[in-house]
Amino acid sequence: MKLNLKIWRQKNKESKGAFEKYEVLVNEHMSFLEMLDVLNEQLIDSKKDPVAFDHDCREGICGACSMVINGRPHGPNGGTTTCQLHMRYFKNGDDIVIEPFRARAFPVIKDLVVDRSAFDRIIQAGGFISVNTGQAQDGNAIPVSREQSSKSFDAAACIGCGACVAACPNGSAMLFTAAKISHLGLLPQGKVEHLRRTQDMVKQMDAEGFGFCSNIGACEAECPKEISLENIARMNRALIQASLTSE
C-alpha cells in the first residue's frame, strides 16, 4: 500500500522544527515502526538524513516508541503501543501525520525523539522501597490479599511511555506518578514509606514542569496499558493525609 506521511523534523531542541512530506510503499503486515524503517532506508539511499525515532523492545513493554499519530499518542488503537500498531489498520492512500510527544517537560531531542528523563527523576525521588542489606525475606512471609495484589499489579503495568502526558491538554504526569506510587503503596512492604514517597514524588513531578490534573480523563483513554484514574484519586488521598500528619 502507498501512504502519504507528514512527519515532524527537528534537528535539536534549539532548532525550529517543521513538517516534511514523504511517500512510502509498505506491506499491510508491517508494524508502524517497520514502516518507518522502510522510509529511513529510502532516505539513506537518497543520501538524506533518516527520521530519528525512539524504540527498543518492539514488544509493547519498554515504552520507548513515543510518538503522536494522527493526533493520538501511539495511534488510533486503544491499549496499544506504537510498535504494536500494524499498517493493516490504515488504508491505501491514507495521510498519516506523525509528531513527537508535546509537553514542556519532554523537550524534543531530534525529530520524533523526546527527552523523558523527567520520569526517571520522579522515580529517583521516591519510587522505591528502602531496605537494609542482608538476606532477602521469604516471599510468602507477609500475606497480601488478592484484591490488593491485583490493584498493585495493575498499577505496576505502567511502562512509563509518557502517553498520559502527551494526551493531557495540561501536560500532566499525574497518572504516571500515581501508578508508580500505587504499585508500591498498596503492598505491605511499601506502606511504611507510603506518605513520604507520595510527597517526594509529587514534589519532584511539580519541579519538572508538568501541568496540573483537571480530571479530563484523556490520560486513561490513551494509556497503552489502560492504567485507571483510580490511582490518581488514591494518590490525592495519600497527599492530603501526608499534609495533615506531617510535622
Task: State residue 125's pLDDT score.
Answer: 97
Task: State residue 138's pLDDT score.
Answer: 76
**pTM > 0.85: yes or no:** yes
Question: How many Cβ atoms from other residues are within 10 Å of residue 245's Cβ?
Answer: 8
The Cα–Cα gap between 54 and 203 comes to: 28
Q: Which residues contact 120 (CB under 8 A, 6 or more apart)?
A: none
Tens digits of per-residue pLDDT, 175-229?
999 999 999 999 998 999 999 999 999 999 999 999 999 999 999 999 999 999 9
Task: State residue 135's pLDDT score.
Answer: 74
The Cα–Cα gap between 75 and 68 comes to: 6
Task: State residue 246's pLDDT score.
Answer: 67
Three-class secondary structure of residue 16 per DSSP: coil
Q: Does position 67 have pLDDT exceeding 80, yes or no?
A: yes
What's at 211, amino acid-wise? G
β partners of residue 5: 22, 96
Lookup: cell for 101 = 510527544
CATH 3.30.1390.20 at 2-109, yes or no: no
Q: CA gyration radius for the chain?
A: 20
Fill in the DSSP letter of residue 29.
T
DSSP per-residue letters across 88-113: GGS-TT-EEEEE---BTTB-EEETTE
**What's the pLDDT band for 245 if we cut at 50, 70, 90?**
confident
User: What percent of the chain is predicted at pLDDT more than 70?
Assistant: 98
* Residue of 225, 204, 125, 219 lying closest to 172 (CA atoms): 219
Tens digits of per-residue pLDDT, 22-49?
999 999 999 999 999 999 999 999 999 9
Task: State residue 141's pLDDT score.
Answer: 82
- 117-130+142-245: CATH topology is Fumarate Reductase Iron-sulfur Protein; Chain B, domain 2 (1.10.1060)
Task: State residue 133's pLDDT score.
Answer: 64
**What's the pLDDT band for 89 if we cut at 50, 70, 90?**
very high
What's at 206, amino acid-wise? D
Q: Which residues contact 25 (CB under 8 A, 6 or more apart)?
A: 1, 2, 3, 38
Indicate if 117-130+142-245 has the same CATH topology as 2-109.
Answer: no
Domain ranges of the chain: 2-109, 117-130+142-245
Q: Give the chain's mean pLDDT.
A: 94
Element (H, E) at 214: none
The Cα–Cα gap between 20 and 77 comes to: 24
The Cα–Cα gap between 80 and 224 comes to: 5
- Asked whether 54 and 80 are in contact (CB, 8 A), the reply is no
Task: State residue 130's pLDDT score.
Answer: 86
Task: State residue 8's pLDDT score.
Answer: 98
Tens digits of per-residue pLDDT, 109-133?
999 999 999 999 999 999 998 877 6
Task: State residue 131's pLDDT score.
Answer: 75
